[in-house]
Amino acid sequence: MKMNWPNMAALALFATAALAAGTASAAEIKEVRFGVEASYAPFESKSPAGELQGFDIDVGNAVCAKLKAKCVWVENSFDGLIPALEARKFSAINSDMTITDQRRQAIDFTDPIYTIPNQMIARKGSALQPTPASLKGKHVGVLQGTIQETYAKARWAPAGVDVVPYQTQDQIYADLAAGRLDASFQDAEAASKGFLKKPQGAGFEFAGPAVSDEKLLGAGVGYGVRKNDKALKDALNGALKELKADGTIDRLAAKYFDVKVVLK
């Protein structure tokens, strides 16, 4: 269908406005609303006083400071973070979310910030290994919506492993300690700081080596943003680049982690 001149002019004005909106500067971002699932220490958790704490929280606050923007934290279940982002409940996901091809189908990501090994934990002396043969007939807890759930369901479940998704990591640790699970699969640092080094984790240890699979487990953690939200993505990338260059993220990582995790 042909378009008459007034409509073409209106379309041109709309396109110009849309382009300008897509290239807004970081200075125009006054608030960043981060979506977070707050039961995954040392990345994000609650203090006894109920305040958010952890590596992702500290880095997020540093990013907001760089942008001279207000940080607002919106709590959400991990498996619901992407739908909530698309529903505009917040502007970015900051919750130890690994960048994968599957997630890129729905949302976009900033540049990778850090990477953490993925490892299984089980009771000491169990001799369990992160393999289908070793785990056949066993119950393995995973956080719902995570790359660990995707991996376990793809690689272990077909071999007869009972992969059990949970809404929060704390629920996994509780069932593991109570003997309702044989193992759990998560970030190695989350397992170490959130369970193994706590009284609840006495009698448990890492079971087998770290698990690597770039297709399913990704190759780094970034902030999730809505597709085509170029202004925010560019602003976050700029702030993160500065925080890496001045050593801020390395210093924050040293506060929480035993190994080097920051990607350059």
Question: Is omega for the bond preceding 130 within 30 degrees of 0, making it cis?
Answer: no
Q: What number is the average pLDDT over the span 227-232? A: 95
pLDDT of residue 193: 87
Q: What number is the average pLDDT over the span 210-235? A: 94
pLDDT band at 25 (very low <50, low <70, confident <90, very high): low
Q: What number is the average pLDDT over the span 44-52? A: 96
Quick one: angle between helices 248-256 and 55-67, nearest 10? 160
How far apart CA 173 and CA 185 sit, in angstroms, is 10
| Whether the Cβ atoms of residue 249 and residue 240 lie closer than 8 Å to each other | yes
pLDDT band at 76 (very low <50, low <70, confident <90, very high): very high
pLDDT in tens, 112-131: 999 989 999 999 999 999 99
Side chain identity at 201, as an amino acid letter?
G
pLDDT in tens, 176-214: 999 999 999 999 988 998 999 999 999 999 999 999 998
Q: CA dihedral in degrees (225, 231, 237, 241; nearest 10)?
A: -160
Q: What number is the average pLDDT over the span 41-46? A: 94
Say which residues have a Cβ less than 8 Å from residue 133's Cβ, sequence separation at least 6: 159
Q: Choose the weakest-confidence range: 18-22, 110-114, 137-141.
A: 18-22
pLDDT band at 6 (very low <50, low <70, confident <90, very high): very low
Helix/strand/coil (H/E/C) assignment for every residue in 176-243: HHCCCCCEEEEEHHHHHHHHHCCHHHCCEEECCCCECCHHHHCCCECCEECCCCHHHHHHHHHHHHHH
More reliable by pLDDT, 161 or 13: 161
Q: Which domains does the chain have, with CATH numbers?
A: 26-114+219-256 (3.40.190.10), 118-217 (3.40.190.10)
pLDDT band at 26 (very low <50, low <70, confident <90, very high): low
Does position 226 have pLDDT exceeding 80, yes or no? yes
How far apart CA 250 and CA 243 sit, in angstroms, is 9
Does position 237 have pLDDT exceeding 70, yes or no? yes
Does position 12 have pLDDT exceeding 80, yes or no? no
